Amino acid sequence: MTDRPAPSDRALAVAPDGALGATACIVLADGQVFYGRGFGAEGAAVAELCFNTAMTGYQEIMTDPSYAGQVVTFTFPHVGNVGVNPDDDEAADPVAAGMVVKWDPTEPANWRAAEPLSTWLARRGRIGVGGVDTRRLTRAIRLQGAPHAAIAHAPDGAFDLDDLLAQARAFPGLVGMDLARDVTCAQSYRWDEMRWAWPEGYVRREGPGRRVVAIDYGAKRNILRCLASAGCDVTVLPATATAEDVLALEPEGLFLSNGPGDPAATGVYAVPMIREVMERSRIPIFGICLGHQMLALAVGARTIKMNHGHHGANHPVKELATGKVEITSMNHGFTVDSQTLPAGVVETHVSLFDGSNCGIALTDRPVFSVQHHPEASPGPQDSFYLFERFVASMAA
């Protein structure tokens, strides 16, 4: 790494002696430059830089629509060693703008691998940077907040650092950015695929189920699989669906999915829909991640940007009613301000890392949401009971 190189010396700079062989770089908006070795697609991308502490699931993370507008730094060094395969995609294509890892990806050594990570990234137009001191980069993110960054992969090792720095500084940031529109489905569809199980893999749900409308703010496939496995007949609607669209399907329950961006920006059109559904019916509502934040905004709370967010598969969350601690997956850069929860809304879960809000529920109707991801993928499955609770509330 080099710290704040002089701008006049940076244009079309070749990596300095300390980074010989570098074919990629990361330029932070404050001027810091990290050199590494590129893999995947060539070119440049600009985004917010975050870190993820999960020990597995790099493919699921890269295809999680919640990572739109972000480059992911993986703190676990073994990334790429199991390759990639179509079954583990959480969306049709990678959504994260790029990835940063400590060790260069190796050839896959797993019977499920369909192709190497590098080949998959190149084919999908996503940049990877390896050989980076990810511990130092993670500390910088934690101390300074998630920075705006430009990443570049150039096989000849020549980089226009002035231009990359300008791009990083011009990036508007995620505050005020509605990204759900970019990752939502184009039209409604039915979902009946259930969770993966040995030896069959993915199987289809059969028979009648609870009619659930799922609003797609950037829904992960495994969330929809969990709903189907819990006994739901799922119809997915785009993020911009109206209350009329929802109620016309006569659902027994409404699900609000995960997604990227600033919840306040997405709430401009999502909150009125949720409020109208709540005014016109008493169907159970369940939200996850951005869906949790949408519900909080709909009942009158506020959301705030976090310093570096929560991204990983080892986050302890306490359920306040029982005192039970669950290890959960998380992926969010905004949080619900629990101090703004109105009367009739209670806090149900909190993070044991920083005390931030991780769940709410209404006291007078079966409406609840959580910040963490009970579907995991990747991560522990301690919180799957929440899907069953949602189904039980419809049965009641």
CB atoms near residue 34 (< 10 Å): 26
Which two structure tokens, joined as six digits, stand for 365?
A: 């109707």
Residue of 60, 252, 326, 375 marked active site: 375
Task: Summarize the confidence of residues 259-284 as an average pLDDT.
Answer: 98
Write down the pLDDT at residue 1: 52
Query: Per CATH, the architecture of 7-170 is what?
Result: 3-Layer(bba) Sandwich (3.50)
Phi/psi of residue 110, nearest 5 degrees: -150, 140
Task: Summarize the confidence of residues 165-180 as an average pLDDT.
Answer: 98
Residue of 153, 289, 311, 358 marked active site: 289
The one-character DSSP state at 359 is E
What residues does each domain of the chain span? 7-170, 180-395
Task: Summarize the confidence of residues 7-29 as an average pLDDT.
Answer: 66
Q: Could you report the per-residue pLDDT of 317-349, keeping only the tens digit for each?
A: 999 999 999 999 999 999 999 999 999 999 999
Burial of 247 (C-beta count, 10 Å sphere; 0-12/13-18/19+): middle
Euclidean distance between CA atoms 69 and 140, whole angstroms? 19
373 is catalytic: yes
Euclidean distance between CA atoms 255 and 133, whole angstroms? 40
Alpha helices in the chain (DSSP H): 58-62, 117-124, 134-144, 161-170, 180-183, 221-229, 243-247, 263-280, 290-298, 385-395
Q: What is the mean pLDDT of the chain?
A: 94
Does residue 18 have a pLDDT over 80?
A: no
332 is catalytic: no
Query: Per CATH, the architecture of 180-395 is what?
Result: 3-Layer(aba) Sandwich (3.40)
Name residue 214's beta-bridge partners.
236, 255
Write down the pLDDT at residue 16: 55
* Burial track 223-239 (b if 16+ CB lie within 10 A, e otherwise): bbbbbbbbbbbbbbbbb
Euclidean distance between CA atoms 255 and 219, whole angstroms? 10
Q: Could you report the per-residue pLDDT of 44-83, keeping only the tens digit for each?
A: 999 999 999 999 999 999 999 999 999 999 999 999 999 9
Write down the pLDDT at residue 7: 38
Does residue 13 have a pLDDT over 70?
A: no
375 is catalytic: yes
Task: Summarize the confidence of residues 124-147 as an average pLDDT.
Answer: 96
Write down the pLDDT at residue 21: 84
Q: Could you report the per-residue pLDDT of 227-248, keeping only the tens digit for each?
A: 999 999 999 999 999 999 999 9
Contacts of 21 (CB under 8 A, 6+ apart): 15, 37, 157
Euclidean distance between CA atoms 340 and 301, whole angstroms? 5
Peptide bond into 199 cis (omega under 30): yes
Confirm if 128 and 38 have CB atoms less than 8 A apart: yes
CB atoms near residue 164 (< 10 Å): 23
Confirm if 361 and 318 have CB atoms less than 8 A apart: no
Task: Summarize the confidence of residues 186-193 as an average pLDDT.
Answer: 98
Give the orientation angle of helix 290-298 with respect to helix 263-280, to 10 degrees. Answer: 60
- Beta strands (DSSP E) in the chain are 13-14, 24-28, 33-40, 43-52, 70-74, 98-100, 127-130, 148-153, 158-159, 189-191, 210-216, 232-238, 253-256, 285-288, 302-319, 325-337, 345-351, 357-362, 367-370
